[in-house]
Structure 1
Amino acid sequence: MNPRYILYMHLVINDILLLTIFTLIQVLTFIVFTLNVSLCIVLLILGILFSLNNPLTLAAMAVECYIAICFPLHHTQICTVRKIYLVIILIWTLNAIFVLPDLLVILANEPVDFFHSRVACLRQNVFKTPYLTVKRDVSNTVLLVLVWLTLFYTYFRILFTAKAAAADAKKARNTILLHGVQLLLCMLTYVYNLAVEGLTHFFPKDVQDIRFTVSIFIQVLPRLISPIVYGIRDKMFRNYLKKNLFCTRFRTHAEKCQEKTNTETVVHLAMSIVDSN
């Protein structure tokens, strides 16, 4: 299996899980408005974990693309399936290190009754310690800086070192740029609170509708669009899409015509045998 597709599948599956958690929180919030704190903590931690996976996966995909263009002879030795799985495990481990301290701080500071109470399932209602807000901002900043540095480094290295394979280099540069666009879409998450607070100021009676609408545009649509765009750009994926989606009707018609032709041939052959006898 191509390591590139393993990372792409990881990105898509991660987005599916993230959207599942997001949809579950939204539906439960609309139905019962408040959730048990323990359940809310589990959902929020999973959502945060899946959200943090995206930037690091994009960085890993950029590095794999850089190795494929700048070190083509060593690509198969460096980017093996086993190493890609190790990279995915490393991504989950690093993000768990970012997330688990939040849970430990809550367990240490909040009374037991808090975990049996009910709140609106929002991050600021559960992770209320000021230290956690500072830690979240610092962690997100460090993570995004590292990812952006990786994207810039791989892009310019491909730009200046892969002159021998101009077509492949151009495609690789476009792929890195696409990773940058995907990262920008992921970063829309950080303007969620600002957008909700700004719209709530003008429409204070429609808080629930505002949160739902903003969530659709900031959380859902970017994660639906980016994997589809990336997949359609891939030649193999595009060929399978054309073969199995767009050409189904024409292929079915051709198969029917072929079956009809075969049937007519058999009938004519049988009639010829009968006439000869």
Structure 2
Amino acid sequence: MAANNSVVGGELSTYKFNDRVIVVQVLVSVFLCINFLLITTLFMKDFYTAMRYILFAITLLSDSLFLIMTDFLLILSYIKISMQIWLCVIMYIVLSMYTFVTPVTLTAMTLERFVAICMPLRHGELCSTRRALHCILIIHSLSSIPCIVILSIFFASAPFSFYTQGRICSVEIFIFYKWQGHLRSAIQQLYFFIMCIAIVFCYVKIMKVAKAASGENKKSTWKGLRTVILHAFQLLLCLIQLWCPLIEAAVLQINLLLFINVRYINYVTFILAPRCLSPLVYGLRDEIFFHALKYYALCGLYKQQSSNVS
């Protein structure tokens, strides 16, 4: 959670920490502008009728919500404004779920590419618009499981008076015992392991089809394979995010200043960065979507220029 980057940030000088906050604001603003343009393109055309574009829209919407909320918590913690625990619980529910929505959706998008390349005759049946809506429900259900487990233990452990206290909102306030932190890490590692297996499985299967294909099919299959590779890299960054709490907990035992620096680097590298790679993997590499994106990005001038050239 972005607020975690500054929970103990009071130990640093104001000038140094202020530089970090400004960097985050610039990055978040750029990513949100890009996401807004991509979302506008998706809804202005009929892209929402295809499963891969529907899932793409889900990643953009979830990433945008996640960035806005984490940035908000980062600013609150920087200016040291606390909130009541019940309000922090609500924010934690949303952020915890959407921490997993992006990697789980990316895994679903990889499976969709696997079906398109390895099972082309059943792609229309398995990846219909109706199936996409069912897939969205499954994604959010799977993403909410870690949050349900952590909060169930928290509600059983916390006294009623605790909910009216004012604290700087961070995930640490929901951890009362060490074993709760270990359980949280175990759940995250389980998700990491399952999603890695799915990615490797799809990659191997698509590689076999690519070697056996010929002509136009071979070119199309290798293009799909390159997309899966780039997609796997993006997913890897998202999955490493699930290991960050375990690494940060170990670093905290060594040095407080090192913990603050590591947490900031983790936020920029494994939370902000993966959420700007979606446009590269699923936007710019898709020819149809790319032309639509250029049209709206240039306010219709691209289409007019193309007509003049023709």
TM-score class, shorter: 0.7 to 0.9
Residue 144 (structure 1) shift: 1.2
Residue 174 (structure 1) shift: 1.0
Q: Does 1:84 align with 2:132?
A: yes
Q: What code does the residue aligned with 1:222 have?
A: P
- Structure ranking higher on relative contact order (CA contacts 8 Å, 6+ apart): 2
Q: Does 1:191 align with 2:244?
A: yes
Structure 1 residues 23, 40: closer, same or farther in 2, change over 3 A? Answer: same
Match of 1:216 in 2: 268
Residue 169 (structure 1) shift: 0.9
Q: Does 1:147 align with 2:199?
A: no
3-state SS in 2 of match to 1:121:
coil
Q: Unaligned stretches of 5+ in structure 2?
A: 1-48
Q: Does 1:46 align with 2:94?
A: yes
Matches within 5 A, 1:81-120: 81-120=129-168
- Superposed CA RMSD: 3.0
Which of 235, 242, 245 is the equivalent residue of 2:297? 245
Conservation of the 8 A alpha-carbon contact between 1:199 and 1:210 = no
Deviations 1:73-111 (A, max 9, x none): 211011111111111101111222221122121111111
Q: Does 1:226 align with 2:277?
A: yes
Which of 165, 178, 183 is the equivalent residue of 2:230? 178
Structure 1 residues 56, 28: closer, same or farther in 2, change over 3 A? Answer: same
Conservation of the 8 A alpha-carbon contact between 1:6 and 1:84 = yes
Identity percentage of aligned residues: 24
Structure 1 residues 175, 206: closer, same or farther in 2, change over 3 A? Answer: closer
Normalising by structure 2, we get a TM-score of 0.72
Conservation of the 8 A alpha-carbon contact between 1:29 and 1:35 = no
Match of 2:186 in 1: 138
Structure 1 residues 29, 128: closer, same or farther in 2, change over 3 A? Answer: same
Residue 218 (structure 1) shift: 3.5
Conservation of the 8 A alpha-carbon contact between 1:37 and 1:117 = yes
Deviations 1:57-87 (A, max 9, x none): 1111111101111111211011111111111
3-state SS in 2 of match to 1:136:
helix
Q: What code does the residue aligned with 1:108 have?
A: A
Normalising by structure 1, we get a TM-score of 0.80
Q: Which moved more, 1:213-222 or 1:142-151?
A: 213-222
Residue 119 (structure 1) shift: 2.2
- Runs of 4 or more, structure 1, over 3 Å off, are 192-207, 209-214, 246-255
Match of 1:274 in 2: none
Conservation of the 8 A alpha-carbon contact between 1:4 and 1:64 = yes
Looking at CA atoms only, which structure, 1 or 2, has the larger radius of gyration? Answer: 1
Conservation of the 8 A alpha-carbon contact between 2:62 and 2:102 = yes
Structure 1 residues 120, 251: closer, same or farther in 2, change over 3 A? Answer: same
Q: Which moved more, 1:245-254 or 1:150-159?
A: 245-254
CA distance in 1, matches of 2:139, 2:83: 30
3-state SS in 2 of match to 1:73:
helix
Structure 1 residues 37, 158: closer, same or farther in 2, change over 3 A? Answer: same
